[in-house]
Structure 1
Amino acid sequence: MDLHLHGLDDHFSMPETGKVNAMRPFYWLKMGWTDFTRHPLPSLCYGIITALLGFAVLKIASSYTYLSSTAVTGFLLLAPLGASGIYELTHEREEGREASFIQSLRDVVHNLGQIAFMGVILGFIAMSWERISAILFALFYGGEAVGMQFFSHALTSEYLGFTIAWSLAGLVLACVVFAISAVSIPMLAHRDVDTITALVTSVRVVAENIPAMLVWATIIVLLTAIGFATYLVGLVIIFPLLGHATWCAYRDLVH
């Protein structure tokens, strides 16, 4: 599906983008694992930090039902930003430099302003999602205190409307975040470009590769679900694996 985004080249200095087949994400995952094994220790550092942050977020939000569910999705909305250093690990190796955790943090700084601006955008979306969730809870539960019974209520006819509305709102925001961050953050870590150029490039890549991106999004969701199902322990490996695979996707799709 072509959304005719090439007209934006008249206003921005846009890189060339490529098209791949629907099964290409499995190649990205394979190459991501290869990169992971080439520098496992610094990669695992990012995985451990992410898992600990995720645990802290869930712990803080555990007292409030709507915050628990919102915290998980909000954490996922911001997680791509945390992979910036992982992208630098592979970039360092590609340039023949020693890949280390400390060096990857130093390399991120070269375009920190634009990466931080991307963080502001993702943070705004995450806060918007928290507000949307709070409003939906207020509308459907009428201020009623809900605990563990929320999960059974959500699937009953009485609260099915809430479940549908909340799920649709989350799906829309997730699609937006996926479209704008699919390759934008590795692009910002790799090139001296502005955030808008990276965002537009990411949206173009997704629009031009919808079958592959649907497969890629499904892989990300399934692996992330495994990470949460293992009480975030699985994220220690899954997060850096997806980070390296995302770098491979960026290098494959943006020229």
Structure 2
Amino acid sequence: MPFVSLAYGAVFSLLAWIILFGLSLFEAVSLIPVLAGGFMLVGPLFAAGLYEASRRLEKGERITLRQAVGAGWRAAARLGFFGVVLFFAFFVWVELAFLLLMLFLGLGGATLPPPSEFMQTLLFTNAGMGLLLTGTLTGAVLALIVFSISAIAPPLLLVKEVDAVTAMATSVRAVLLNIGPMLLWAALIAGLMVLGFATLFLGLVVAFPLVGHATWHAFRALVELDKP
């Protein structure tokens, strides 16, 4: 379903450009890595339409972009609480990032240096390297927690009448029972999304729907829906 998939990815690429434009107006472009990391935390929620597209394609049906976008709304009651959990993780990450900026560089959100200066500080000073190492480890721990609860929870909530807590517990169990493959899957997701951002967001047009469709198939391989 190339039209639905690529249009879905293009929407998020466009949103990223709009955010970049807004940050440039406030001279805060250096926040892009922080927000990009945050997007990877909440991304599973926004991929609901891609799960629906894969579900219908699996059944031999077709789907329009409007139907794909509407899939999330139909399951809004079940996805709502899960969305709150993911956005809480997003805000925790943003707060931690600002805290680390202040601790290592003495910077607040209103005094961020331009990107070129920021990257030079990050890569070629002791304080910058400390920030890079600590930020990466902090982000990795938070990302692994979020991945564990969201690896298969969104597609499960989309197609089955279960509560968010049950869906997250099922996701954690699936990760723990398949720790090696799931860690590889997490690394692949991170790598694809980093490529998407590194290509000035153009790569998101392909990377985001690719990860979304693959997540549905991972879910189908891990969860037997017919079992009570």
Give the TM-score normalised by structure 2.
Answer: 0.88
2:71 corresponds to:
107
Deviations 1:187-229 (A, max 9, x none): 1112111111110111111111111012111211222222122
1:151 corresponds to:
119
Deviations 1:31-65 (A, max 9, x none): xxxxxxxx111111211111111222233334225
Instruction: Assess if the C-alpha contact under 8 Å between 2:78 and 2:158 holds in 1.
Output: no
Count of residue pairs brought into register by the alignment: 217
Greater Cα shift, 43-52 or 217-226? 217-226
Instruction: Assess if the C-alpha contact under 8 Å between 1:184 and 1:198 holds in 2.
Output: yes
Structure with more relative contact order (C-alpha pairs < 8 Å, separation 6 or more) = 1
Q: Select which of 130, 136, 148 maps to 1:179.
A: 148
Identity %: 39
Letter in 1 for 2:52: E
Alignment of 1:1-255 (within 5 A): 39-62=1-24, 63-64=27-28, 67-143=31-107, 145-147=112-114, 148-155=116-123, 156-255=125-224
Question: Which structure shows the higher helix fraction?
Answer: 2
Structure 1 CA distance for aligned equivalents of residues 52 and 103 of structure 2: 45
Structure 1 CA distance for aligned equivalents of residues 29 and 68 of structure 2: 37
Report the RMSD for the aligned CA atoms in angstroms: 1.8
Instruction: Specify whether residues 145 and 47 from structure 1 end up closer, same or farther in structure 2 by C-alpha distance, changes over 3 A only.
Output: closer
Structure 1 CA distance for aligned equivalents of residues 65 and 48 of structure 2: 12
Deviations 1:140-164 (A, max 9, x none): 2223653332212223223322222
Greater Cα shift, 137-146 or 117-126? 137-146
Deviations 1:107-150 (A, max 9, x none): 33332112122211111111111111111111222236533322
Instruction: Specify whether residues 245 and 141 from structure 1 end up closer, same or farther in structure 2 by C-alpha distance, changes over 3 A only.
Output: same
Gaps of 5+ in 2: none
Structure 1 CA distance for aligned equivalents of residues 128 and 203 of structure 2: 32
Secondary structure of the structure 1 residue equivalent to 2:161: coil
Structure 2 CA distance for aligned equivalents of residues 40 and 107 of structure 1: 18
Gaps of 5+ in 1: 1-38
Structure 2 CA distance for aligned equivalents of residues 232 and 43 of structure 1: 16
Letter in 1 for 2:94: E
Instruction: Specify whether residues 190 and 145 from structure 1 end up closer, same or farther in structure 2 by C-alpha distance, changes over 3 A only.
Output: closer
Structure 2 CA distance for aligned equivalents of residues 150 and 93 of structure 1: 45
Give the TM-score normalised by structure 1.
Answer: 0.79
Structure 2 CA distance for aligned equivalents of residues 69 and 94 of structure 1: 36
Q: Cα distance, 1:242 vs. partner?
A: 1.1
Structure 2 CA distance for aligned equivalents of residues 151 and 200 of structure 1: 39
